Structure 1
């Protein structure tokens, strides 16, 4: 009889512990400046060219985590500041994932951003994980749209034109799927930028949410 009571008590304790763990799991903190897609979105294949004039496709996303950002090398503020932040926090972010973590900077200004220009630009950040890519607009536009980002070319004939583009950073999982988006901090009069500190705080929370899918 006494033995049965002990078994009953232990069983009840296990149930209570399980319920508590479940409740804690359900109420884990959410990322503040990131959107995690309920279902990762598959990317159709694409053809880009990197800074070494080598072709890149969806196959180059497989078995790696990728942070993708669109912009152009003549960008006066968002691009250099965002890439500097990504390059600076890369080691800490890479330590949180099992597979390699690469950074894709996709230039949407192929007229000026040749592979040679891209190489000079990405080399400035001294981050081997940073890869510069571009292509014709026939490839760029659908690829950028698949990422959930946007860009718009200027209609001016001037050579120092600006290009409107998203300031968010997209996370692509090792299956080549768009899994999450890190959004910039928006403040009146300030350049919209993804905060390095917030990225470090949100990244593990995003990974945790993805593991629960």
Structure 2
């Protein structure tokens, strides 16, 4: 009888411990400015051209973490400011993951952003992990859409045109899947930008969520 009582008490303790762990898991802090997809989204094959005129595809995403951002080199505000933030935090974010962490800047303005123009632009940020890429719209549009981002070309015939594009940053996991998206701060009259400190705070929380999937 005493042995049965011990077994009963141990079983009850195990149940209580399980409930406590579940409650703790339920109350884990969530990222404030990031969305983690319940199921990582596969990317179909694509072909982009980098700043060194070399083709890049889905294989270049494998075994690495990738932060992807779309824009263009003639962008007056969102692109240079966002890339400066990403280049500045790359080392800190890379220290939190086992695989390398790269940054992809995908230009959606192939008419002006030649590989030579992209090289001059990305070299300005002095971040070896930053790669500039572009392609024709037949490749760009479906790829950007699969990332969960968007862009829209202007119909003007002027050379000094603007391009509408997303200000979010996508996280691609080492399996080449879209895993999460970091959203910019939105304030009336302000340029939508990723907050540096918020990104550093949210990144490990995103990784924790991904581990639970």
Task: Give the superposition deviation at 1:58.
Answer: 0.4
Mapped pair 1:14 → 2:14: yes
CA distance in 2, matches of 1:93, 1:15: 37
Q: What residue number does 1:191 align with?
A: 191
Q: Give runs of aligned pairs for residues 133-172 of structure 1, distance below 5 A.
A: 133-172=133-172
CA distance in 1, matches of 2:114, 2:159: 15
Task: Give the superposition deviation at 1:15.
Answer: 2.8
Q: What residue number does 1:116 align with?
A: 116
**Higher mean C-alpha displacement, 71-80 vs 94-103:** 94-103
Q: What residue number does 1:75 align with?
A: 75
Q: What residue number does 1:26 align with?
A: 26
Matched position secondary structure for 1:193: coil
Matched position secondary structure for 1:38: strand
Q: Deviations over 1:152-188 (max 9, x none)?
A: 1111121111111000000111111111111110001
CA distance in 1, matches of 2:119, 2:129: 13
CA distance in 2, matches of 1:44, 1:199: 27
- Structure-1-length-normalised TM-score: 0.95
CA distance in 2, matches of 1:124, 1:2: 75
Q: What residue number does 1:125 align with?
A: 125
Number of aligned positions between the proteins: 213
CA distance in 1, matches of 2:89, 2:78: 17
Structure 2 unaligned segments of length 5 or more: list them. none
Task: Give the superposition deviation at 1:207.
Answer: 1.0
CA distance in 2, matches of 1:100, 1:135: 25
Task: Give the superposition deviation at 1:45.
Answer: 0.4
Matched position secondary structure for 1:79: helix
Mapped pair 1:86 → 2:86: yes
- Structure-2-length-normalised TM-score: 0.95
Structure 1 unaligned segments of length 5 or more: list them. none
CA distance in 2, matches of 1:14, 1:152: 56
CA distance in 2, matches of 1:15, 1:202: 32
Matched position secondary structure for 1:13: helix
